[in-house]
Structure 1
Amino acid sequence: MPLLSQRPRGDICTEPLSAGKSRVRREKRQMIIGIEDDFSLEKMADCGQCFRAVCLPDGSYRFISREKVLNIREQVPHQFQVSCSEEEWDEFWRDYFDLSRTYKRIREDLLLQLSGERTTPFGQTSRGISEGDAATETARRQGSIDPGERCIQGLDVGSDAAIRFLTQAEQAGRGLRILRQDPWEMLITFIISQRKNIPAIRLAVEKLAMLYGHPVKEMLFTFPTPEELGRASEADLRTAGLGYRAPYVKDAADKVLSGALDLEALGKLDDGALFEKLMTVKGVGKKVANCICLFGFGRTSRAPVDVWIERAITLCGGVDPFPAFGEYAGIMQQYAFYYMTHQKM
């Protein structure tokens, strides 16, 4: 994760929604999205996972991904005005915001583990499992339950200090989601992120977009494709402000263009193999590889360790607690990262 480093508001859709689902309807020529699950624009834009999301003067947030630009603003709690069509929301942005998973349910699971109530797989406690819960557990194993409702295994997260810290982190980070971002953009931006704080990363990423991307709307530019960035020499990239990172970015672009790094094929690998393949790119160490796994490929079992998370581990008694959360390790890591950076701990 990079070092530390933006707010929302005013027509409504009142139909009730289940957690993790969204409903769309038009009012006064505006598209209104109802989202009942955890969903904080401010936190998602300001937690170090996305470098092109900005808060605009009217309180809306702008997200740019691939060829898409979205302006989104919270009108009233759980109701969001968006600038795209219903089709675009359903086909692109719903997945981008990971709305197929129920983060409220994930947090319930995390808190049960932290409180010691969950010591066995979901639906089961030390007192045993009911017939109804057994049927639910079978459905979960067969994959017919919302993946956001799958549980973590009951593993020991460590000391009382770790439990206190992680409980506070969950409260502070509530509303965060793991954005499902473009793997190519994540590969390059997290190479750039090394030894830079969030404002500096944002500036570097926007400069690359203006120099090598193409216009997508008004004065906005796409993040450059591998072909666009591949036309830049290492000297060009240094001039663009990448410094010692220029050869790393050039190596990544060359590997993708040559097919040595097939990003689509990487998405089919298991977590470990994906991590190892990313490590073959110059300048990609363990932290950067885990960031790309988490934010570019949606591998929520990966929990990157940077200076902030190292401090969090120290506060947890010196033992890394995140692996104990299994497939949700990266979600808990994001709560901890947000808590650490915004509490200046």
Structure 2
Amino acid sequence: MKVQEKSDRLIISEQSDFEPKHIFECGQAFRWEKELDNSYTIVANKRVINVSKLNDEIIIKNSNKEDFNEIWKDYFDIDTDYSQIKSKLNNDDIMKKAIEFGTGIRILNQQEYEMIISFIISANNRIPMIKKVISNLSKKFGDFIQEYNSKKYYSFPSIERLANADVEKVAECKAGFRSERIILASQKIIQDKDIVYNLKSKTYDEGLEYLKTYKGIGDKVANCILLFSMKQFATFPVDVWVRRVMQTLYVPNTAKDLEIRKFAENKFKDLSGYAQQYLFFYARENDIGK
């Protein structure tokens, strides 16, 4: 990988397995907007960047080498060799097609607290609405970051701001019945800070059991949190699209979510989370099972 800094942008070359559309539209993140030029503007880590790909070069605007080395290299999981992961997963025709379709997926390293709150919001919700609620919460309770391309951007709210928020004010952000859950979760994270920020070092089962003690977190939400912020790659979150692709291509159409998850975790082992991302993107973009 080569990183060059030119004016307000970084140009990254010799980096394989990186496609912005695959990364941001595979269900793992919500603070992105697709622009008219097919680039993606991202808010993360109290920064605003714009990411695109031209030929074989990745372009990150509104950033510099220091931020890349300290923030974005880890955020985009640059040091992980996805060619090895894909080689190990590529053991049947279904996965081969899914991997070819979403070849540029990378699982982002996102902040634990933000993922807990974001996926509580995601329960029984559509992605456009999830993004809207998070944007509203950030505008009302977060800190102003900057104006970029004529739009104002705000950081994800601090844990303290949401823990002390009035439920009515949270509800104004269109969070609905999730408003109380957001506040309670924030309070619990403050109380259990030492537990939450050490789940990466715990077993998958320990992490799953702990997260399900939160109001509004069941199997699917807990597994998403474990996968997208806690490096628990042996998990296989099952949502509507994953259920459809698995019932269509792998298991009987009567299989329940727990059966699907156990089947996948047994089949894909410690790479189950990566398999889930390829299958999710493949299923949703191709309306498999719909």
Query: Could you tell me the TM-score, scaled by structure 2's length?
Result: 0.88
The aligned runs of 1:290-309 (5 Å cut-off) are 290-309=223-242
- CA RMSD after TM alignment: 1.8
1:178·1:298 contact (CA, 8 Å) conserved in 2? no
Q: Within 5 Å, give how 1:133-144 maps onto structure 2.
A: none
Deviations 1:31-63 (A, max 9, x none): 211242200101111111100112223432222
- Structure with greater helix share of residues: 2
In the other structure, the counterpart of 1:68 is 47
Q: How many residues end up aligned between the 2 structures?
A: 274
Distance 1:221 1:26 in 2: 25
The structure-2 alpha-carbon separation of the partners of 1:95 and 1:183, relative to structure 1 and needing over 3 Å to count, comes to same
Q: CA deviation at 1:175?
A: 0.7
Q: Could you tell me how far 1:96 is from its partner in structure 2?
A: 0.4
The 5 A counterparts of 1:210-221 are 210-218=139-147, 219-221=152-154
Match status 1:334 vs 2:267: no
Output the CA distance in 1 between the equivalents of 2:210 and 2:60.
Answer: 40
Q: Which residue of 2 aligns with 1:317?
A: 251
**Alignment correspondent of 2:135:** 206
Question: Contact 2:119/2:225 (CA < 8 Å) preserved in 1?
Answer: yes
SS at match of 1:302: coil
Partner of 2:88 in structure 1?
A: 109
CA pair 215-167 structure 1, distance change in 2 beyond 3 A: same
SS at match of 1:267: helix
Query: In structure 2, what is the Cα distance between the partners aligned to 1:230 and 1:317?
Result: 42
Tell me the equivalent position of 1:100: 79
Question: Which residue of structure 2 lines up, in the alignment, with residue 24 of structure 1?
Answer: 3
1:180 aligns with 2:109: yes
5+ long unaligned stretches in structure 1: 1-21, 115-162
Cα 1:222–1:28 shift into 2, 3 Å: closer
Q: Check whether the contact 1:255–1:261 (CA below 8 A) recurs between aligned residues.
A: no
Check if 1:266 corresponds to 2:195. no
Shift of 1:257: 2.2
Gap runs ≥5 in structure 2: 253-258
User: How many angstroms apart in 2 are the aligned matches of 1:301 and 1:82?
Assistant: 34
Amino acid in structure 2 at the alignment position of 1:173 = G
Match of 1:195 in 2: 124
1:165 and 2:94 aligned:
yes
- Which residue is 1:48 aligned to? 27
Does residue 86 in structure 1 map to residue 65 in structure 2? yes
Task: Give 1:238 deviation, angstroms.
Answer: 2.1
Q: Distance in 1 between matches of 2:20 and 2:245?
A: 24
1:260 positional shift: 6.2
CA contact (8 A) 1:53 1:63 kept: yes
SS in 1 for 2:182: helix
Question: Equivalent residue of 1:62, what SS?
Answer: strand
Identity %: 30
Which structure has the larger Rg?
1
Cα 1:193–1:79 shift into 2, 3 Å: closer
* TM value normalised by structure 1: 0.75
Q: 2:189 aligns with which of 249, 256, 260?
A: 256
